[in-house]
Amino acid sequence: MRDVITRPTRRDLLGAIAGAGVVSVICIEPSRATPASMEAAIRSVVGEASVKKGKVRIDVPPLVENGNLVSLAIDIDSPMTPKDHVKAIHVFNELNPQPNVISVHIGPRAGRAKISTRFRLADTQTVVAIAEMSDGSFYSASADVVVTLAACLERL
Amino acid sequence: MARALINVPKTAKRGQIIEIKTLISHIMETGFRRDNVGKLIPRNIITDLVCTYNGEEIFRAGLYPAIAANPFIAFFTVATESGTISFKWTGDNGFDETASAKIVVE
Amino acid sequence: MSGYASQLRLPACAAIAMGFIAATVLPARAEIPFAKQRSGYADLGHDTKAMQDDDSINPATLWVLDGEALWNTKAGASNRACSDCHGSATNSMKGIAARYPAYDAARKGPVDLEQRINICRTEHQKAEPFKFESKDMLAMTAYVGRQSRGMPIEESHDAPLKPFIEAGRKLFFERQGQINLSCAQCHDDNWGKHLASSLIPQGHPTGYPLYRLEWQSLGSLQRRLRNCMIGMRAEPFAYGAPEQVNLELFLKWRARGLRVETPAVRP
């Protein structure tokens, strides 16, 4: 049986980190991501900008059937006009071996800033979605997902 | 193996926002799993999906090992004109797969 | 028994199963009442149900499309495709999966769909048989099975099949493996309850071959049964073994009336 995972304190990206500067791109990744490496991955995308809450909605089951395939939808409130649209959507996770999940680049031709995909979660953790707007601002949302192992694991 | 399955509406009204769904056959080996003698299985994933509409890019995605096997990606675009919507997946080990669908916009 | 509990890597299922051994008395033929029959589909999450229901987003469709291509591909010394004899699968294969395994007079016993496909390949196409669980075999069974989607699993009235259904029933009720539990003890007596965090289904094979999230791939009923047996720490039946066919025959009888869902999606 698995140990109970101690949940990390939820970070508020708005206030948390004093201008740390850009994180080095070349780094030796640990075999298991941590909330800190997720922070670093987020910083490498947003730089020193502040990230606001709102506009972003994450659709993910709170309790997954199987961590190998979890349905995910990110929907962002935006008129998607040439003057005001979502430029990019980045999804991160806390405890998989790597913090990145997917990075999507769209523009006003999208009509609607919504993407759906299926991803993997190694453990119970928080998923973060960041929307990069055409005016350079960032918005984010997070969702907590519980992941359990199947009772009988297949041996190959 | 049927490589890719794409779902693009055959017809649409001009200005209508349509949903495009893509599904492609790929193991998405993370590079973090070990085989039964403990050896690390090398990473083998699709890293990029680019979609163009009559030659103009309308969607680009960078995929990481966290994307599940047989990657499914759905997104939206505005039906602007009749023509061809093309898809290109690229990844590790020279993976390169393309698909396309025609759309009639009234 | 206490020796097992001290092993470091005791899986969750074994730990819970120990409780069963202590507490459960093997009941006499406790069959699930017809009205309480329930496919695993009913317990799926909303997104997984949607995945199964929509061919355009079901990962299993990739295999179905391959099966369609194989159906129309000439093979073997005979240089014939399935379509050359059977025409369009949408017509000729409709209802097949709903009544397989079926009795084969020449072999004086039941054959399942995989065996029937290989009989056709070797005897009529003069081609190499497909290996069990190979991409081609899965594609073929997914494509043929798909033609029966929505049809109720037929109750077999074939008299010659009766002894084989009985043999399958006997296997279903027999304790097996180091864990020493029978299929019935979980799937007849404790369906709906949880084994660790997994919901115990009734175990009806309505949607095989199916896309199992745990496998990240399509797989057959035989693969799933082997998994269960490995879970029970029993020697699993080989692919294509007569026990597999008898067990499938019984499971299909037990699932009679439920609709074919091939290709399904399951956790």
Which CATH number describes the domain made up of C32-52+153-266?
A: 1.10.760.10
Q: DSSP letter string over A9-23? A: PPP-TTTS-----PP
Q: Has residue C6 got a pLDDT over 50? A: no
Residue B60 in tokens: 């680009």
CB B61, CB B49: distance < 8 Å: yes
| Active site (annotated) includes residue C228 | yes
Identify the three-state secondary structure at position C41.
helix
C135 at the B interface (CB within 8 A)?
yes
CB A94, CB A37: distance < 8 Å: no
Which pLDDT tens digit goes with each residue over B22-62? 999 999 999 999 988 999 999 999 999 999 999 999 999 99
Which CATH number describes the domain made up of A48-145?
A: 2.60.40.2470
Q: Indicate the domain borders of chain C.
A: 32-52+153-266, 55-146
DSSP C31: P
Which pLDDT tens digit goes with each residue over A91-149? 999 999 999 999 999 999 999 999 999 999 999 999 999 999 999 999 999 999 999 88
pLDDT band at B17 (very low <50, low <70, confident <90, very high): very high
Contact criterion met (CB < 8 Å) for B72 and C69: no
What's residue A149's pLDDT? 82
CB C144, CB C93: distance < 8 Å: yes
| CATH code for the domain of B50 | 2.60.40.10
Q: Which candidate, C193, C184, C179, places its Cα nearest to that of C230?
A: C179
Contact criterion met (CB < 8 Å) for C44 and A65: yes
List chain C residues with CB under 8 Å of A65. Answer: 44-45, 48, 213, 267
Cα–Cα distance, A41 to A33 (Å, whole number): 10
Sheet holding B95-105, edge to edge: A51-53, A138-145, A125-133, A86-93, A100-105, B56-63, B46-53, B83-91, B95-105, B11-12
Q: Indicate the domain borders of chain A.
A: 48-145
C-alpha dist (Å) from residue A36 to A23, A89, A110, A131? 12, 20, 33, 20
Only one residue has tokens 């939206």, namely B76
List chain B residues with CB under 8 Å of C263. Answer: none
Burial class (CB in 10 A: 0-12, 13-18, 19+), B53: buried
Candidates 3.40.720.10, 2.60.450.10, 1.10.760.10, 3.30.420.10; correct CATH number of C55-146?
Answer: 1.10.760.10
- Asked if the domains C32-52+153-266 and C55-146 are classified in one and the same CATH topology, the answer is yes
Give A23 to chain B, closest Cα distance, Å: 19
What's residue A24's pLDDT? 37
List chain B residues with CB under 8 Å of A119. Answer: 66-68
Beta strands B95-105 and C102-104, pairing class: unpaired
What's residue C30's pLDDT? 59
Contact criterion met (CB < 8 Å) for B59 and A104: yes
List chain C residues with CB under 8 Å of B89. Answer: none
- Among A1, A64, A155, select the one facing C15 at the smallest CB separation: A1
What's residue A25's pLDDT? 39
pLDDT band at C70 (very low <50, low <70, confident <90, very high): very high
Work out the angle between the directed axes of helices C221-231 and C242-254 (0-180°, nearest 10): 100
- Among A1, A71, A151, select the one facing C198 at the smallest CB separation: A151
C69 at the B interface (CB within 8 A)?
yes
- Among B67, B78, B80, select the one facing A119 at the smallest CB separation: B67
Q: Has residue C198 got a pLDDT over 60? A: yes
Give C133 to chain B, closest Cα distance, Å: 14
List chain A residues with CB under 8 Å of C190. Answer: none
pLDDT band at C176 (very low <50, low <70, confident <90, very high): very high
Which pLDDT tens digit goes with each residue over C74-118? 999 999 999 999 999 999 999 999 999 999 999 999 999 999 999
pLDDT band at C32 (very low <50, low <70, confident <90, very high): confident
Domain span at residue B84 reads 4-105
pLDDT band at C197 (very low <50, low <70, confident <90, very high): confident
Contact criterion met (CB < 8 Å) for B67 and A110: no
The model carries a pTM of 0.87
Q: Which candidate, C189, C190, C157, C172, places its Cα nearest to that of C248?
A: C172
C48 at the B interface (CB within 8 A)?
no
Identify the three-state secondary structure at position C126.
coil
Give A140 to chain B, closest Cα distance, Å: 18
Residue C151 in tokens: 């049809």
Q: Which candidate, B31, B57, C46, C160, places its Cα nearest to that of A109?
A: B57
What's residue C16's pLDDT? 57
C196 at the A interface (CB within 8 A)?
yes
Task: Taking residues C142-164, report their average pLDDT.
Answer: 95
Q: Which candidate, C141, C151, C94, places its Cα nearest to that of C248?
A: C141
